[in-house]
Structure 1
């Protein structure tokens, strides 16, 4: 009953602040993170192990939802643009962190650059009317690729840290990861070519939406278990499950049945807990150096992203750049993993965490300002 009480308080307060932020024109998850920051000073006796498990479930469901947003074909097509942009962004972020680590190049720079190269899918979706449908898939693709690469980089860094000089097991793990992901995508290709109609007919015979959701959860948890066993983060398995179960494969009706239930479970229960938990564990330091770090990081990244995706005038290009340069909540998790594992110093953990949160606010604010000006121009014309 104790854990139920804490869950009730967190969800209720998180959803309350989410509504407030939505009314102010910001994404609701920022309110949920803020709720966690406020509650961190109040819920001091909270059973942390149980809450951490629920937060990890929240991340699991969010990654599944991210997978459902795109198809493998869209990811492949958009990846031609987003992978080079991600590589360029990562390199630039890596170079900018060097002065803030005393000119020393090491694990701090590798993990911090991974955190600072991430994009926020919720911000991208909020600004989608500026993107257009074609570019929306590119922006979502960047968000997904950057999140997966961020998790991959921090776990690879931890392995190098734990086994210095012994690279054979690490290379074997990378090979297993590649075979697993490649195998999943190949199975998706075979089903889409040969067994798509049979799968749709089978799902149509199921009498309830819960049966479709139950089968999907069996697939998701199975892939998550395999991901964890071969050394990847378990949420990558959830993402792959979502990527497999796209509308082209399931059929529109079955896809809608699945996403309706999943959306309710994710955004009604587990996502608020995950975002609030990230706020509860938020650690930073306030100093001139930290502000200087954020201003340098965000300015360079916004300019880089805007130039890379420029199209249809400066306003739309700026908003598109802000969507790509929106950092992300997953950066807080990556920072926590790096700090606990000893590959990220407390100083860089604090600075990267604050940059992630401020970057989300900054990108949302850029979108709001451009939206407000566009509305004013439209009203003057009419």
Structure 2
């Protein structure tokens, strides 16, 4: 038993260390701007993780610096995400492709110039690409595609810079970014994963702690007071999800895109009240059982009041049961928070709302499998560690 408890503590410690290090690896501004598409505009869209690109032949980000002629050799199986020109305001760029075709671009007077934004018309017209072929394709896609079949055009690309004496920086944006890649908006999926993990754990701790405190209080009180006992029976027999949806609708506001905006406090209170019934009834049963014990009756006959009885005889088995029940409460709460987040009925980003983001990005078709695997491992490791720890707890109170 001691070995299992130590294993649980070590596993939980590793999980806490992982979450701590993960939070250090990102900026707080990234989490705050998770739903701000403009904040992520400079990132490549729908990019693979960096590690994935090293085991496959996906385009990696390359930075080119120079004057006059700048050469880039494309040798990957896919096309770059975008080409960004820095310090090239008002310059004329002539691009010589591997097939000998030439494209001339007159860049606008901006510090940062995206080929996808400013170059599509020039590329389509100078390469004589039929409009039906160019539709829904980016300028970078067309630049790095062969003329006839739009296959990837590998080889040497020469960027001839004229009209400026400055040192030009060209960034060939690859299809790899970060630990988990990006979505179609360029959002770093690693940031979303950490934000969802933080919020899921925070909500779980708040709801789990509230359930323990509220459940112990109302459970013990219901053994003494008929009105409280009646209220407990009502709570325990109330179907949780339908009433939760009604209460959330009553206390929340509707945001952009039919999103439900509910405060963390309201969410925690509603879910605690609707979820505490079964746990509180178990506490009530323990209380009634202890009150019927011979040693409790003996204490009462010697003049002990109910407060002393609760402190001396009832709290010990109640706390013992509650600590053992923590694992079930946490596992249940994580599931509830994730399910409600999946349907947009919880505050902030959590594992459920994050899964919705993944589904929009095509996770059902095999995309982002590495994130799903990590989520499953996180849930499994957390549940396992708590189960191993709680298995020993009751004996510690014996």
Q: Under TM normalisation by the shorter chain, which class is it? A: under 0.3
Larger Rg: 2
Q: Which has the higher contact order (CA 8 A, sep 6+)?
A: 1
User: Which protein is richer in helix relative to its size?
Assistant: 1
Q: TM-score, normalised by structure 1?
A: 0.26
User: Which protein is richer in strand relative to its size?
Assistant: 2
